[in-house]
């Protein structure tokens, strides 16, 4: 049973007359009448308005990039169209046309929709729940969004699946060898095997083995940025620390942009289950936690730019409100009055010959449902003794034939939480190898991993173990190379904060770097506690320090609520 079946009334609520009267005051323009069958918005259309039906009906129809129609829903008076993407003015995943008797409705563009959600807590709760559940329904249905055509398990297909999944974007997967439509598309386009996978965007455009950046643009995930805009806060990194900064800064009226080169959630977003985060006694997946934070940030008007990579912090510009700039790979610079470094860490690679060749072809640094499906019923190995490794073991073991847990130390007590150690001990198919390391891998990129070689650190005895999947959780290094010497780092590359600065006539804030106006939060900061809750706390705390930097002045561009609430029609 899907979310649509279980929560239909919450997904498609009907506003009461008094709520409709309040909502209309926030509409972006006056009501409009559509004739029977008239198109109101199309799949793949950018910046589609959300429509509140006043009379008649709207038929909302799902259609994927191949033009395949699926079940529609009829929305009547008091109901709204749209899903959570409309909060940010993203490309529409659903089409809508007036019903048999026509339709009368009022539109809400992204800014006015956010103003409604913020301006009325009661209505806002109803609308936010509905929009979020509709996106979940689209993901579960597998009949909306992008279409991927390729061979299951190939590195580039796995990469695109991970990119779409981690960013909460719906897609359909067609196996190139077995699916009639997939084969027909490949034949029609004359596609060579080395050009797979194909990605069909909602508007019908076909991409051959696209990069994540190209895919993001095609599906409307990556927003178009105005190079003349000066944000109050630019955040580099969409992990827990960066998302917390965005939520708290945007909710206080500061124009915020968040940039991340991969996906929302950072390392935490790849976690199968977080069980020690306050307020979630049964645990929550990293992706679900990140998704909730993104919805909050978009609700308050923060701009999320994924995947965009900040290649360099420019610290040699002339002084003024635009002196803080970020160079963007293949894009215009982003300017801001304050910059928050929340770029976190990147997965550490083991010093094993040919390992990089097999990344994505059997060697993985996280354990998402995509990887879990690929290794179901097989023998696998996982290297690492920290909490992330423990969570991955607990997630993967019930789905595989045997899991070899490889750790360099003599036990797990020094590096893993007790509850995870106890859980792993209860798993019957986990074989624990202490004082052991992986010293070799076998295979190639086209056929994937086929074996790994373990060596006991004390005896030197080596063991070759045939397998097709190896997971590495051996730690991480700070992602700070893009800072290009602009801020002070410690001897491990983490960003130093709260240090005395000769460039300041004021006291340096606790989270401020050696470069005035530039802050660091989360795992990338030297001395930080490497926990999700600590990262969220720093992301919230830095906003108060940014306010102090800005001197209590008004934001450069007012928040949605500040602009629109006084101007609502009444």
- Our count of domains for the chain comes to 4
Provide the pLDDT for residue 500: 72
Mean pLDDT within 373-385: 96
Average pLDDT over the chain, rounded to an integer: 90
Pair 99, 78 in one domain? yes
Pair 456, 431 in one domain? yes
Q: Is the pLDDT of residue 527 over 70?
A: yes
Provide the pLDDT for residue 502: 61
DSSP state of 28: S
pLDDT tens string 200-229: 998 889 999 999 999 999 999 999 889 899
Pair 368, 432 in one domain? yes
Pair 110, 176 in one domain? no
Q: Is 80 helix (H, G, I), strand (E, B) or coil?
A: strand
Q: Is the pLDDT of residue 10 over 90?
A: yes
Pair 236, 324 in one domain? yes
The span from the CA of 145 to the CA of 134, in Å, is 13
Pair 40, 61 in one domain? yes
Q: Is residue 481 one of the residues assigned to a domain?
A: no
pLDDT tens string 47-81: 899 999 999 999 999 877 777 777 679 999 999 99
Chosen domain end from 101, 122, 141: 141
Pair 22, 115 in one domain? yes
SS3 annotation, 181-246? HHHHHHHHHCCCHHHCCEEECCCCCEEECCCHHHHHHHCCCCCCCCCCCEEEEEEECCCHHHHHHH
Q: Is the pLDDT of residue 403 over 70?
A: yes
Residue 31 belongs to domain with CATH number? 2.60.120.10
Provide the pLDDT for residue 317: 55
What's the Cα-to-Cα distance from 389 to each of 106, 272, 273, 338, 384, rounded to whole Å? 51, 10, 11, 35, 5
Q: Is residue 479 one of the residues assigned to a domain?
A: no
Pair 315, 269 in one domain? yes
Rounded to 5°, angle at Cα 167 from 335 and 541: 50
570: which 2 tokens? 């009444």
Provide the pLDDT for residue 507: 63
Pair 117, 18 in one domain? yes
Asked if 273 contacts 391 with a C-beta cutoff of 8 angstroms, the reply is: yes
Q: Is the pLDDT of residue 568 over 60?
A: no
pLDDT tens string 266-320: 888 888 888 888 999 998 998 999 999 999 999 999 999 999 999 999 987 554 4
Q: Is 163 helix (H, G, I), strand (E, B) or coil?
A: helix
Provide the pLDDT for residue 506: 60
Q: Is residue 179 one of the residues assigned to a domain?
A: yes
Q: Is the pLDDT of residue 565 over 90?
A: no
Mean pLDDT within 87-100: 93
Q: Is residue 33 one of the residues assigned to a domain?
A: yes
Provide the pLDDT for residue 561: 39
Q: Is 489 helix (H, G, I), strand (E, B) or coil?
A: strand
pLDDT tens string 528-551: 998 999 999 999 999 999 998 887
Chosen domain end from 141, 164, 193: 141
Asked if 509 contacts 473 with a C-beta cutoff of 8 angstroms, the reply is: no
pTM given for the model: 0.91
Q: CA torsion 438→444→447→452, rounded to 10°?
A: -10
Pair 168, 70 in one domain? no
Domain interval for residue 132 = 3-141
Provide the pLDDT for residue 75: 97
pLDDT tens string 346-374: 888 888 999 999 999 999 999 989 999 99
Q: Is residue 507 one of the residues assigned to a domain?
A: no
Provide the pLDDT for residue 213: 94
Provide the pLDDT for residue 554: 44
Mean pLDDT within 427-445: 96
Q: Is residue 547 one of the residues assigned to a domain?
A: yes
Residue 103's DSSP bridge partners are: 34, 56
Pair 273, 340 in one domain? yes
The span from the CA of 358 to the CA of 18, in Å, is 60
Mean pLDDT within 176-197: 85
Better-scored residue on pLDDT, 570 or 385: 385
Better-scored residue on pLDDT, 180 or 483: 483
Quickly state the pLDDT bin for 182 (edges 50, 70, 90): confident
Mean pLDDT within 451-470: 96
Pair 125, 14 in one domain? yes
Q: Is residue 539 one of the residues assigned to a domain?
A: yes
SS3 annotation, 333-374? CEEEEEEEECCCEEECCCCCCCCHHHECCCEECCCCHHHHHH
Q: Which of 142-146, 195-199, 523-527 has the lowest mean pLDDT?
A: 142-146
Residue 212 belongs to domain with CATH number? 3.40.30.10
Residue 418 belongs to domain with CATH number? 3.50.50.60
Q: Is the pLDDT of residue 344 over 50?
A: yes
Q: Which of 142-156, 369-383, 526-540 has the lowest mean pLDDT?
A: 142-156
Mean pLDDT within 123-146: 92
Q: Is residue 290 one of the residues assigned to a domain?
A: yes
Chosen domain end from 118, 141, 164: 141
């Amino acid at each position: 049973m899907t979310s649509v079946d279980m929560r239909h009334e919450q997904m498609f609520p009907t506003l009461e007359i008094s709520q409709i009267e309040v909502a209309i005051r926030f509409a972006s323009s006056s009501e409009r009448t559509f004739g029977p069958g008239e198109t109101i918005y199309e799949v793949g259309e950018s910046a589609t308005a959300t429509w509140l039906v006043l009379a008649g009906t709207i038929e909302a129809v799902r259609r994927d990039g191949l033009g395949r129609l699926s079940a529609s829903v009829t929305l009547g008076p008091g109901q709204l169209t749209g899903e959570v993407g409309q909060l940010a003015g993203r490309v529409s995943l659903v089409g809508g046309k007036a019903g048999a008797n026509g339709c009368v409705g009022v539109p809400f563009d992204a800014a006015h929709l956010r103003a409604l959600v913020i301006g009325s807590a009661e209505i806002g709760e109803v609308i936010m729940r509905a929009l979020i559940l509709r996106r979940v329904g689209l993901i579960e249905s597998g009949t909306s969004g992008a279409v991927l055509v390729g061979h299951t398990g190939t590195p580039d297909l796995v990469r695109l699946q991970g990119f779409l999944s981690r960013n909460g974007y719906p897609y359909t997967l067609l196996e190139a060898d077995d699916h009639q439509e997939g084969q027909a598309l490949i034949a029609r386009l004359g596609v060579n095997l080395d050009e797979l996978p194909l990605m069909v965007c909602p508007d019908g455009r076909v991409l051959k083995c696209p990069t994540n950046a190209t895919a993001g643009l095609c599906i409307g995930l990556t927003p178009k940025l105005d190079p003349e805009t000066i944000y109050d806060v630019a955040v580099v990194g969409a992990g827990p620390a960066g998302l917390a900064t965005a939520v708290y800064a945007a909710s206080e009226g500061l124009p915020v942009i968040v940039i991340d080169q991969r996906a929302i959630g950072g390392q935490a977003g790849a976690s199968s289950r977080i069980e020690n985060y306050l307020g979630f006694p049964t645990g929550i997946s990293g992706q679900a936690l990140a998704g909730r934070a993104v919805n909050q940030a978009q609700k308050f008007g923060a701009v999320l730019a994924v995947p965009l990579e900040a290649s360099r912090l420019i610290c040699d510009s002339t002084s003024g409100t635009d002196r803080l700039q970020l160079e963007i790979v293949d894009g215009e610079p982003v300017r801001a009055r304050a910059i928050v470094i929340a770029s976190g860490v990147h997965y550490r690679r083991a010093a094993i010959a040919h390992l990089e060749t097999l990344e994505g072809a059997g060697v993985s640094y996280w354990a998402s449902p995509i990887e879990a499906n690929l290794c179901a019923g097989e023998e696998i190995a996982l290297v690492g003794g920290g909490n992330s490794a423990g969570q991955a073991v607990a997630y993967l073991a019930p789905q595989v034939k045997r899991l070899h847990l490889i750790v360099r130390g003599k036990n797990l007590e020094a590096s893993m939480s007790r509850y995870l150690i106890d859980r792993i001990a209860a798993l019957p198919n986990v074989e624990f190898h202490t004082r052991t390391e992986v010293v070799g891998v076998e295979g190639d990129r086209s056929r994937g991993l086929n074996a790994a070689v373990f060596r006991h650190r004390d005896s030197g005895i080596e063991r070759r173990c045939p397998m097709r999947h190896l997971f590495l959780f051996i730690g991480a290094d700070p992602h700070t190379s893009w800072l290009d010497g602009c801020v002070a780092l410690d001897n491990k590359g983490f960003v130093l904060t709260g240090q005395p600065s000769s460039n300041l006539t004021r006291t340096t804030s606790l989270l401020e770097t050696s470069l005035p106006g530039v802050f660091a939060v989360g795992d990338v900061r030297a001395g930080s506690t490497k926990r999700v809750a600590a990262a969220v706390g720093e992301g919230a705390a830095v906003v108060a320090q940014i306010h102090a930097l800005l001197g209590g002045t008004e934001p450069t561009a007012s928040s949605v609520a500040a602009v629109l609430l006084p101007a609502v029609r009444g």
